[in-house]
């Protein structure tokens, strides 16, 4: 009989970064445990994952509380052979509203996993911040997990549990990503003229420094295009992206798929981390304006620390110079490619560690 696995903490595939992490989690589970493994999912937006053809339970409470099928699922976790937490950054309590949302949506899943008698593996996380005295609550659950993979050093220090181990974001350890880092895949030093600027909404608008950067590039007659990474609920960036760069390009153009597969790479300035990582996978030269710790760690793991900046405090003139350098200086693009190729062995090793942890958890 095939193994059964429950994947917890999925959000919505309409946020392409979160959808990517679910897809990568499923691939990892199947690589570790076999293609015939039976998988069920708990998600905040079940309808967005219909394309998977898997049972998906509604984890987000409504006006009448949690869905009956979901409550029954959490009471019966022991029917699964393995409990897995999707990678991401959903366990945090930086302010009261964030804490309440996390407690209502993610809390029941984490608590049930911690209390389960089944083996548990949480894939690479950014955990925290835990303010307002919440650290003890979350840590009481996290320390009971079989293995907790963490994708940045600050999370390792904040959680400080024996099961915690440092890894990298699922998006950059997957074989599909690391294959693109091979030297022969990084040989293309051409670049298109148009710069892609992809942003996220902060308090209803693009961050002020990003607006300054966009104006500076336009004044310097650098053609700009936009791309929407997330279009779901409170994470819908469509309107703010349109205000900044006009109508956005489609996913095929951004990811160089289909009729755009032979298009030259471009310089991309990305605020959302997975928009940045997906662009690197597509062969673009990416500058990341990070709004959380996860972005700095991911770019450090890729050897690209000089091309990541804090979105709230970066120097627009410095980033504009980096954009110009990537557009005009082949030696800068060559250095960028070399850094990515050099990161490949470490990322492949971390992928192997994740596979081993899933197999060891079940005892294979």
**CB 220: neighbour CB atoms within 10 A?**
10
- Strand positions, DSSP E, 15-156: 38-43, 56-58, 82-85, 88-93, 120-130, 147-150
The pLDDT confidence band at residue 235, using thresholds 50, 70 and 90, is confident
Give the pLDDT band of residue 339 (cuts 50, 70, 90): very high
Are the C-beta atoms of 116 and 81 separated by less than 8 Å?
no
For 147-188, the pLDDT digits (tens) are: 999 999 999 999 999 999 999 999 999 999 999 999 999 999
Q: For residues 207 and 25, give the distance between their C-alpha atoms in angstroms, rounded to a whole number.
A: 31
Q: Are strands 88-93 and 82-85 parallel, antiparallel or unpaired?
A: unpaired
User: Cα 210–12–53 angle (5° rounding)?
Assistant: 145
Element (H, E) at 226: strand 224-226
pLDDT digits (tens, 9 = 90+) for 222-233: 999 999 988 877
What is the rounded CA–CA span in Å between residue 107 and residue 99?
Answer: 10
Over residues 310-326, the pLDDT tens digits come to 999 999 999 999 999 99
């Amino acid at each position: 009989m095939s193994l059964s696995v429950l994947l917890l903490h999925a959000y919505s595939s309409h946020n392409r970064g979160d959808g990517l992490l679910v897809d990568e989690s499923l691939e990892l589970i199947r690589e570790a445990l076999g293609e015939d493994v039976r998988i069920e999912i708990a998600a905040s937006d079940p309808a967005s994952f219909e394309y998977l053809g898997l049972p998906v339970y509604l984890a987000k409470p409504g006006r009448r509380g949690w869905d009956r099928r979901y409550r029954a699922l959490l009471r019966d976790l022991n029917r699964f052979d393995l409990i897995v937490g999707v990678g991401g950054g959903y366990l945090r309590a930086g302010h009261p509203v964030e804490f309440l949302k996390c407690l209502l949506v993610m809390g029941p899943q984490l608590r049930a996993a911690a209390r389960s008698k089944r083996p548990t593996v949480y894939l690479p996380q950014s955990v925290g911040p835990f303010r307002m005295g919440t650290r003890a609550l979350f840590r009481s659950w996290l320390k009971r997990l079989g293995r907790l993979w963490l994708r940045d050093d600050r999370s390792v220090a904040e959680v400080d549990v024996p099961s915690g181990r440092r890894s990298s974001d699922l998006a950059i350890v997957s074989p599909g990503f690391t294959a693109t880092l091979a030297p022969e895949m990084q040989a293309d030093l051409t670049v298109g003229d148009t710069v892609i600027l992809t942003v996220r909404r902060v308090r209803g608008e693009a961050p002020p420094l990003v607006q300054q950067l966009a104006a500076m590039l336009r004044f310097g007659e650098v053609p700009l295009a936009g791309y929407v990474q997330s279009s779901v609920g409170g994470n819908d960036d469509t309107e703010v992206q349109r205000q900044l760069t006009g109508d956005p390009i489609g996913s095929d153009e951004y990811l160089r798929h289909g009729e755009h597969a032979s298009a030259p790479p471009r310089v991309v300035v990305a605020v959302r981390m997975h928009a940045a990582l997906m662009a690197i996978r597509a062969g673009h030269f990416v500058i990341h304006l990070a709004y959380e710790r996860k972005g700095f760690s991911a770019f450090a793991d890729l050897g690209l620390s000089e091309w990541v900046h804090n979105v709230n405090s970066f120097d627009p003139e410095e980033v504009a110079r980096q954009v110009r350098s990537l557009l005009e200086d082949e030696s800068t693009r060559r250095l960028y490619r070399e850094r990515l190729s050099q990161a490949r062995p470490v990322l492949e090793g971390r992928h192997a560690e994740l596979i081993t942890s899933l197999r060891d958890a079940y005892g294979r």
